[in-house]
Structure 1
Amino acid sequence: MNRLKFNGVKGNFIQRRYAVSLGRRYVLAAASVVLLGVLGCSQVNNNTSALAQSQLSPTESPLQKKTVIEDTKIVDANNKFGFKLFAEILNQDGNAKNIFVSPTSVAIALAMTYNGASGSTQQAMAKTLELQGISLPELNSASASLNKLLENPGADVQLQIANSLWANQSASLRPEFIQRTRDFYQAKVTTLDFQDAAAPNTINNWVKDNTKGKIDQIVDKIEPNQALFLINAIYFQGKWSQKFDQSQTTPKPFYTSSSQQKQHPMMSQTGDYKYHETEQFQAVSLPYGQDGRVSLYIFLPKENTNLKALTQNLNTENWGKWMSQFRQREGFIQLPRFQTEYDITLNDALKALGMGEAFTNKADFSAMGKNLAISQVRHKTFVEVNEEGTEASAATSVGIVATSIRQPQEPFRMIVNRPFFCAIRDNQTRSILFMGAINDPQ
């Protein structure tokens, strides 16, 4: 039996895998990785057998058996952080054709990391993650409840959330940190010899398995001072409540943000939808599954404005107001098939949002181990939308180094033939799982 050693405490742990049934074609996945490393040789336990390949067997908390979220503060915090992060990504990476991220994946990976933060580093992370006024036990309990609820979205919809911690065999980590990661985030805990050339492949294979092959690499290489990786992977598969008729899909013009006109396959459908319209945009909710608990929201700027103007108004206050104003309405929707992959390192965005200290030698992750700092937060996503549903994946990597009422109205027409904003939302918990700005569906 392999053993783990955390600050001199040994224990046997039973290996646990997250078994996930193979999805069909339409999947959305996300993965987030926090990379942590050591700043100097003195910060690493010299006992090379300290961390052997092993996994902790999770102890299910009673909190994870809840079917409702009694306190929505964590959902509100995650959504607020998500909009802030998305705005900063647009500010820094606005030249990208398409931007597509999973704020839920990033928030979960950083919540696990937050469990190891102390002092001013913890305060800075709390401000960035919108966790001020929320205690660590409250965060962990609510996160466990939320994750459990999110993973049961109903028929024809699958959402899997998987977490893992990969530690260098010579690292020394606090057992309390490991225990919280296991108990509340159901993380698979494994130790590896980071000097082994096969180590990155071992980690990447876990991400590939938990995103159903949509993301096959999140760790390119492991630096000599790397101590551990904290990884979240989200996999979503949804079939439309009302599928688009493939025979109705025809090439139509799509006008990109650079004012280029492209012929692109456009799906068409008439039906009854939750719909909202203002002077600035049209918006429609396209539900998945039998009960429509999860939906794809499409926001199309009016022709007298643009996507940039719309995204500048994206925040939790406006989002909440817009969500409350959707009403059932008959209409016609024409939507492009689209597919995109996105890969970004979030270090600069997170620094701009106030947690820069966590990336420096002043970082305080003493609740995790000695002399640790975040080296990289990497995020990758994949999404495909077509006639039958949605397929997508996302991954986030964090590394640490040492250191409604019906009203009679005319049917609407919504022709999504120019750049638009989209979001996949769990309507029961109000969690925003993914969001994106699509400038070019190709």
Structure 2
Amino acid sequence: MRGKCSLLLALIWLASCDWGGGSEDINTPKLRTLQVYEREMVFSSSKFAIDLFHQLMEAEEENHFFSPYSIHQALSMTMNGNEGEVLEEFIQLLRYEGLSTAEANKAAKELTQFLKELDNKVKLNIANAIWYKQGYSIFPDFKETVRNYYRAEVADLDMLDPQSVNVINNWIANQTEGLIQEMVDEIPSNAVMYLVNAIYFKGDWKYRFDTEKTQKAPFYISPSREVEVDMMELNEAATFRYYAENNLRYIEVPYSTGQFSMGILTGTNHNLDEVIEAFTFDNLENWREQAMEANFILKMPKFKMSKKMENMKEDLIAMGLERPFFFHPDNFTLLFDNPHDELKISRVIHDAFLEVDEVGTEAAAATVVEIVERVSMPSGPTIITLDQPFVFFIQEKHSGALLFMGKMGNPELL
């Protein structure tokens, strides 16, 4: 049931800009002209979102849901700890080719603030935080960048304390209204930094569905296979932006003032693979431009879904971010100003939740980038201290004969 819907729900964050379908509701959206670098940021994050969507769809799961904005933000923060070839890999992955690092950071700050303040009737929270291992010292420039441009909370953390995992998990739960719980299972002993993004969205439909009209109805996975869903239905025809070509239909289902919407792309022949193949950045721009207002009664499933990716490492490597996932002296050279061993990203965890009902949509997601240090043998001679009871014996090497045996249990009694 949720395969088609999950395809397009990744677009929910892309609908933040006015693509030609303004609305005249009681609350006027706080629109302003986007700066050139902000528009470049929209293009970059949109291209990244669609690239990632196609990468994740290769897993052939029937349903999927994630927040490309959250992942893009977390990796953008992480990008700032690098330089040279490693930085270039981040730039290529995040599609920042048209922006300098400074412009990307500035655009991330201003675009995020714009989205959060755009619509008073939509609740949107985007927050960042960074925890680093106690005893380590962060480069002042990195700390200033993430605090200034990503509004990140930056604090040290006793990562050897088993309870420290609760600090990260509780922060994520608070930022997502409790929808994302216990995201991090444990903190490994060689962890040195966690870069975390959390996002929460709650918006009411501009045209609400009447709960009394919701009833069981078939959802056709294929012409010969159907499942039963709770199908919502509007009481009367409403105005939507709509575009159709060949076997594809593009619909914008607006929230509140219409500045946020749920984009839906579906087919007419039950061929989801065909829909996915058509979903490109250029096509999306074309559908938005060509869409026109149309009046119709909309029916759509009521549903809830969640998806956790325990580690996005292989997907991100496949998309070109390689070196940061393997210990290398060039990794994260701009993070710490005290001596440390080689670093790498060990995990990129992503967890997302979505609920669509008659009133509107509630969605939350969080992304955690875990950076660890290579555990090397200490330089100089190893010191082993026999400071507890032990067994000992005297043996002959060639024969293996044991000549004497004993134990040391309490030296005080000798």
Give the AA of the match of 1:311. Answer: I
Question: 3-state SS of the aligned residue for 1:98?
Answer: coil
Alignment of 1:268 with 2:233, yes or no, is yes
Matched residue, 2:369:
398
Q: Give the TM-score normalised by the residue count of structure 1.
A: 0.73
1:29·1:395 contact (CA, 8 Å) conserved in 2? no
Matched residue, 1:425:
none
1:124·1:355 contact (CA, 8 Å) conserved in 2? yes
2:209·2:359 contact (CA, 8 Å) conserved in 1? yes
Q: Give the TM-score normalised by the residue count of structure 2.
A: 0.78
Q: Which has the higher helix share?
A: 2
Matched residue, 2:246:
279
Alignment of 1:389 with 2:360, yes or no, is yes
Matched residue, 1:358:
324
Give the AA of the match of 2:238. Answer: G
Alignment of 1:89 with 2:60, yes or no, is no
| Cα distance in 2 between the residues matched to 1:233 and 1:183 | 17
Shift of the 273–219 alpha-carbon distance from structure 1 to 2, 3 Å rule, reads same
Alignment of 1:169 with 2:134, yes or no, is yes
2:47·2:95 contact (CA, 8 Å) conserved in 1? yes
Q: Of 90, 94, 107, which aligns to 1:125?
A: 90
| Cα distance in 2 between the residues matched to 1:155 and 1:203 | 29
1:29·1:214 contact (CA, 8 Å) conserved in 2? no
Once the two structures are TM-superposed, the CA of residue 257 in structure 1 deviates from its matched residue by 6.1
Give the AA of the match of 1:73. Answer: E
Matched residue, 1:432:
none
Matched residue, 1:79:
46
Shift of the 241–368 alpha-carbon distance from structure 1 to 2, 3 Å rule, reads same
Which has more radius of gyration?
A: 2
Q: Of 346, 352, 362, which aligns to 2:312?
A: 346
**More divergent stretch after superposition (143-152 vs 131-140):** 131-140
The percent identity for this pair of structures is 33
1:29·1:394 contact (CA, 8 Å) conserved in 2? no
| Cα distance in 1 between the residues matched to 2:113 and 2:86 | 29
1:29·1:392 contact (CA, 8 Å) conserved in 2? no
| Cα distance in 2 between the residues matched to 1:165 and 1:240 | 34
Matched residue, 1:196:
161
2:206·2:258 contact (CA, 8 Å) conserved in 1? yes
1:254·1:263 contact (CA, 8 Å) conserved in 2? yes
1:29·1:211 contact (CA, 8 Å) conserved in 2? no
2:214·2:232 contact (CA, 8 Å) conserved in 1? yes
Question: 3-state SS of the aligned residue for 2:321?
Answer: helix
| Cα distance in 1 between the residues matched to 2:31 and 2:78 | 24
Question: 3-state SS of the aligned residue for 1:76?
Answer: helix
- Structure with more contact order per residue of length (Cα contacts < 8 Å, sep ≥ 6): 1
1:4-403 superposed matches below 5 A: 67-71=32-36, 72-91=39-58, 93-94=59-60, 96-256=61-221, 260-269=225-234, 270-289=237-256, 291-303=257-269, 305-344=270-309, 345-362=311-328, 363-369=330-336, 370=340, 371-403=342-374
1:252·1:266 contact (CA, 8 Å) conserved in 2? yes
Shift of the 249–66 alpha-carbon distance from structure 1 to 2, 3 Å rule, reads closer
- Deviation string 1:77-112 (CA, Å, 9 cap, x unpaired) is 010011001100111x22x23111111111110110
- Deviation string 1:56-92 (CA, Å, 9 cap, x unpaired) is xxxxxxxxx995420211110010011001100111x
Shift of the 257–400 alpha-carbon distance from structure 1 to 2, 3 Å rule, reads farther
Once the two structures are TM-superposed, the CA of residue 258 in structure 1 deviates from its matched residue by 10
Segments of 5+ residues of structure 2 without an aligned counterpart are: 1-10, 14-29, 375-414
Once the two structures are TM-superposed, the CA of residue 260 in structure 1 deviates from its matched residue by 3.8
Give the AA of the match of 2:193. Answer: L
2:12·2:261 contact (CA, 8 Å) conserved in 1? no
Q: CA RMSD in A?
A: 2.0
Q: Which has the higher strand share?
A: 1
Question: 3-state SS of the aligned residue for 1:340?
Answer: strand
1:29·1:233 contact (CA, 8 Å) conserved in 2? no
Shift of the 228–197 alpha-carbon distance from structure 1 to 2, 3 Å rule, reads same
Once the two structures are TM-superposed, the CA of residue 161 in structure 1 deviates from its matched residue by 0.6
**Runs of at least 4 residues of structure 1 off by over 6 A?**
none
| Cα distance in 1 between the residues matched to 2:222 and 2:343 | 42
| Cα distance in 1 between the residues matched to 2:226 and 2:216 | 12
Question: 3-state SS of the aligned residue for 1:101?
Answer: coil
